[in-house]
Structure 1
């Protein structure tokens, strides 16, 4: 499909993001783990309320909403599937990060979700979690690890993935409902994405 150059109107009630997909074809050399008051914890059978709360706290400023739109059965099937690993970082008695790895494709792994709550951004917790993710993924006989990020994510997300060893291979435009207009997320989040009623 050919799309002509130019600008195009985004339909009312929708938002548009540029999505960059990145991949890693071999295990990288990892930087040292940062030292901090964090504990990595694998969650074997995540509760739906726990998952939605953490997903929201990690992702609301970046307009994460897809998992909040899922019905209970669909979400449970997704996050409790064989080959899917959910991990968090515990800090000060609470869970403050979300890592989701999907090993269901043969010899591949998708880093589906990755993020820390606002209070851990810039502390080194993200690097610790990424090092853990890369060790977990490449402990298996993989030929490819991949992730995507978008222009709604933290402004340093893309560079962080590239410093971690991922290389961009594809760019797309994603149109989706604005979750602030249909009540999925509060209207006052994600100031970097203007709200248009």
Structure 2
């Protein structure tokens, strides 16, 4: 198998005022919080969004591991719908000391390039900043961060930077190239 160079960029923002929202793509796109944790739905989103861009870290998780991950206080999944069809999602992962990571963010391939991503990211970041209003045991958010890599979509990094994220770390490593599993891993 061949080796590739993988670059991972970490970006953050330290104030809700840093967010530069994208324009809404139109009334046919809505973003709704998935308030009932559903491992099946979250796995569908994860595999469908990440199948062509090398998201594989969660594919081997058992249902119980998905339940554990999604059931932690403050973990939220926000889903973009285009005329009732899931188009993408953002998953918020609260961490210690008022930090929230945008753990996963992306669109299903059919919905990329339609101005949905900037809007979804804007709403996801805003929800990261006001997470404590929905989870009273959490301290207020003081930092939101995300990482992206050279295998993510070609517009990912630019979208994060347009929303106000600032680069704070870059890591490069050699990695064995792997095939993308597609939206139906194992099929």
State the TM-score, normalized to the length of structure 1: 0.78
Q: How does 1:51-90 map to 2 (within 5 A)?
A: 51-90=42-81
Question: Aligned residue pairs: how many?
Answer: 173
2:149 is aligned to: 150
Counterpart check, 1:130 vs 2:121: yes
Q: Could you give the per-residue CA deviations for residues 55-110 of structure 1, whole angstroms, max 9, x where no partner exists?
A: 11111111111111212222221122111001111223321212101123221110
1:33 is aligned to: 24
Gaps of 5+ in 1: 1-11, 190-197
1:8 is aligned to: none
Which structure exhibits the higher relative contact order, with contacts defined as CA atoms closer than 8 Å and separated by 6 or more residues?
2
Counterpart check, 1:185 vs 2:175: no
Residues of 2 paired with 1:31 and 1:171: CA distance?
Answer: 25
Gaps of 5+ in 2: 133-139
Residues of 2 paired with 1:174 and 1:84: CA distance?
Answer: 29
Q: How does 1:40-55 map to 2 (within 5 A)?
A: 40-55=31-46
1:162 is aligned to: 161
State the TM-score, normalized to the length of structure 2: 0.81
1:13/1:82 Cα in 2 relative to 1: closer, same or farther (>3 Å)?
Answer: farther
**Displacement after TM superposition at 1:138 (Å):** 1.8
2:135 is aligned to: none
Q: Secondary structure at the match of 2:79?
A: strand
Larger gyration radius, structure 1 or structure 2: 1
Whether contact under 8 Å (2:12, 2:146) holds in the other structure is: yes
1:76/1:14 Cα in 2 relative to 1: closer, same or farther (>3 Å)?
Answer: farther
2:96 is aligned to: 105
